[in-house]
Structure formats: structure tokens, C-alpha cells
Amino acid sequence: MSLRVAIAAPFIQNGSRQLQENELVVALSLDRDWFSPDQSKRLIDVATREGLLEPGDDGLEVTFDPADVTVPDEFVPDEDLLQERSAFERVLDTLVAAGVEKHEAVGAINTLQQDLGVTIETAAVVYARREGIDVSELVPVARAALNDGGSS
């Protein structure tokens, strides 16, 4: 399941859009027993790089509305969330979280990539926009890949 869900859970639990880093680490490691404290810090780093968290004067602020996220009772995040994900994986995760079937999205993105002759990241962003799903934070990544002229 998604990084967004793992990050949203502590904010939902605390009824806040902002938490100190140590509060977030405690929520992820001790309260929920999902990760070790070191892994929790790594997850925070990944979420910050992916634009889900923003450092502020009073701690870390979530950049999306946690109330829009459902955390299933049986949810336990996978350790691969601790790995940096490609822009394609991030768009795909957003699409799946919005209810698009993963295999349908991958097939449509691959077709779009071939039809347009663009990178997989660019095709994923175009597909998400066509589906009405906001992935605006990934547009610069797709644009950079397009400007590089490479095709994945």
C-alpha cells in the first residue's frame, strides 16, 4: 500500500496537519509498531523528498489532506516504502490510490508511451491528467525526462 497512507496515519491519529519529527517517529515506530525508529526517519526522508511532507518552523507539515486518506484497520506498510521510487511508480501509486486498476493503468500508460514516443514518466503524467488525477508535483520530473530526450 501507499506511502501516502503510511504518512497520513499519524496525522489522522493526532488530528493535526503538523507534527514534530520525533512525534512522527514515535507514531510510526512505537504507537503503530510499523518500523524501527531508524526506518521511521528514513520513511520521513522519502516522504519529504516525494513532496508529501514539508519542513516548517513548527515541525513537519503534511502537504495533502490526511482526512482524504483511508487507513484500513489491517494496514501494515511494506518496507519497500523506505526505498526511493521513480516518478512512474509514484504516479502509478497515486492512480491506484484513486481507484484505477493497476494492470489497466500500466497497459494504458505503455500504449500512450508508444503512441506519443515519450518517456514512461511523461506518459504516466499525461494518463493521470486524462483521468482527472492531480499529479502536478511530478510534472517537473516528467518534463526533465522529456527534455533529456530519453525514452524508458
**Using one digit for the tens of pLDDT, what is the confidence trace for 53-97?**
999 888 999 998 998 888 888 888 888 888 777 788 888 888 888
Say if residue 2's pLDDT is above 90.
no
Neighbours of 73 (CB within 10 A): 4
Phi, psi angle pair for 72, to nearest 5°? -60, 150
In this prediction the pTM is: 0.62
Amino acid at 42: R
CA distance 47 to 63: 10
* Contact residues for 26 (Cβ-Cβ < 8 A; gap 6+): none
Listed residue (77, 25, 29) closest to 53, CA to CA: 25
Domains of the chain (ranges; CATH) run: 3-82 (1.10.10), 87-149 (no CATH)
pLDDT at 142: 72
User: Residue 35 pLDDT > 80, yes or no?
Assistant: yes
Q: What does the pLDDT read at residue 138?
A: 76
Residues 6+ apart with CB under 8 A from 59: 18, 19, 20, 21, 23
Pairing of strands 59-62, 53-56: antiparallel
Is the pLDDT confidence value at 11 over 80?
yes
